[in-house]
Amino acid sequence: MKVDMDKLVSLCKRRGFIFQSSEIYGGLSACWDYGPLGVELKRNIKEMWWRDMVRERDDMVGLDSSVLMHRAVWSASGHEEGFVDPLMECKACNQRWRADDTKDGRCPDCGGELTEPRMFNLMFKTFFGPVEEEAAAIYLRPETAQGIFVNFANVMDTARKKLPFGIAQIGKAFRNEITTGNFIFRCREFEMMEIEFFVKPDTAGEWFSYWLEERQNWYIKLGINKENLRLHQHGEDELAHYARVCYDIDYLFPMGWSELEGIADRGDFDLAQHAKHSGKDLSYFDPDSGERFMPYVIEPSVGVDRAALAFLVDAYDEEPDKDDIRVLLRLHPDLAPVKVAVLPLSRNETLVPMAKDVYAAVRKCFTAQYDDAQSIGRRYRRQDEIGTPLAVTIDFQSLEDHQVTIRERDSMKQIRVPVAELTGTLELKLSGEPLEVLPPGGKYWLGFEE
Ligand code: ATP
């Protein structure tokens, strides 16, 4: 379905996914705080990326480098010179725009005349140490990649890896963006998940295609509809100063097709620059061929916040529900902030001890939520809206037959299973087993009136 961004923003605020930063003081634009559910979603995205890109691969190692780096890094990398956007200012309303967000030299907001573009560096500058002078100026990193390049030799010396291999990193980045908006799509503070994959120069093309494919498949595996992804190749005028070739994986966001992830062939630009500026040898010795050379680098790079937006947009759905509308997030179970809701049919005191026991057992294995407020139908809807894939309901019959029901978010179907089989069954269902497959002693169940 076509998702209305305002509805999604309102759900995120109402249900505790995402809040405006410093909201009680009027907000700080393009900075966002993740609430109790948002932080779980974001952690899950990072966890899945780390699992699939690092832990389950033999050719990848991780890194966590510091946000603050020697200023020489940004001079060598070209960011001091080249990490700029053309900025234009409206002579009528004084709003500032990135030149590529404007048309015909006119302000997109009021139609006023714009100034000539001037180059604006997107790096945030601050002071290192107690003295506020230019000699003490350093930058907040605008990408995590440079932390990887300057550690290339350290990792080579310690991780015993042969080419091709990659270094992956997740961490905060800061960009003083000129035009912001579209919720968490473009933030001034955000998190990145970046891979620098080092290869022999003559294999860069193959590896570029490999990562293009691999990264699209990752989104599809985690539930993104294939139809909402497309590739966009950067033309000469769009290429970043370091890139030889660059493709965006675009996603169909509510405001239209926009970049979700960038895959760039950075050649040997970064290693060569750092070798030159630091005077350190950053070349690679290939023990098989006896040659020494500068590796080429393929870089898949994505913002966690932007990925979170894509997953939320893709999961958002509305369905007719009697006289009402059922709002649900069809999030992949690996991403859902809460995996299992535990719901006693009522607050009747005879039910509570068993319900609490079930909750204690379930929360040991999965992120779970206990909810006993209001009717069972209302509680199912609340869980649907935050994307909880499964709900376990304990009723009066459970006290006698030691069985509970499992209700599935997407189909609203239910099965009844022995408590002894519960956690094992939940595990299988969360990994994709159809609800209809019953555990020993399980049965189909018409379900409670919703
Ligand atoms: P754009 O053209 O949208 O400004 P970019 O081409 O400068 O982006 P890259 O430098 O390629 O972006 O950054 C890699 C990835 O980091 C992007 O694909 C995006 O997912 C994420 N990203 C970049 N800037 C931001 C931002 N301001 N807020 C959130 N995520 C961002």
Does the pLDDT value for residue 49 go beyond 90?
yes
- Residue 230 is predicted with a pLDDT of 98
- Residue 38 is predicted with a pLDDT of 98
* Dist CA 234 CA 247 (whole Å): 6
Strand partners of residue 403: 418
Residue 449 confidence class, pLDDT cut points 50, 70, 90: low
Burial of 139 (0-12, 13-18, 19+ CB in 10 A): buried
Return the H-helix or E-strand segment holding 416. Answer: strand 414-418
* Mean pLDDT calculated for residue range 13-17: 97
| Closest Cα to atom 12 of ligand 1 | 262
Q: If you write DSSP's letter for every residue of 103-140 in order, what string do you get?
A: BTTB-TTT-PBBPPPEEEE---EEESSS--SGGGEEEB
**C-alpha 444 – ligand 1 centre gap (Å):** 48
- Alpha-helical (H) ranges within 126-203 are 145-149, 152-159
| Closest Cα to atom 30 of ligand 1 | 303
Phi, psi of 55 (to 5 degrees): -65, -35
Q: Is the dihedral of CA 84, 90, 93, 94 positive or negative?
A: positive
**C-alpha 425 – ligand 1 centre gap (Å):** 40
Residue to mutate, 186, 263, 304, ligand 1, most ligand atoms under 8 Å from C-beta: 186
Strand partners of residue 174: 189
Is the CB of 246 inside a 6 Å radius of any atom of ligand 1?
A: no
Is the CB of 166 inside a 6 Å radius of any atom of ligand 1?
A: no
* High-pLDDT (> 90) share of the chain, %: 93
- Verdict on whether the full-model pTM lies above 0.85: yes
**Helix pair 304-315, 5-14: axis angle to 10 deg:** 100
426 touches 366 (CB < 8 A) = yes
Identify the three-state secondary structure at position 25: helix
Is the CB of 192 inside a 6 Å radius of any atom of ligand 1?
A: yes
Hunting for tokens 């002693």 — which residue is that? 441
| Closest Cα to atom 22 of ligand 1 | 303
| Average of per-residue pLDDT values in the chain | 95
Asked if the bond preceding 254 is cis, omega within 30° of 0, the reply is no
What is the atom index within ligand 1 of the atom nearest the CA of 240? 6
**C-alpha 142 – ligand 1 centre gap (Å):** 10
Is the CB of 306 inside a 6 Å radius of any atom of ligand 1?
A: yes
Does the pLDDT value for residue 448 go beyond 70?
no
- Residue 323 is predicted with a pLDDT of 85
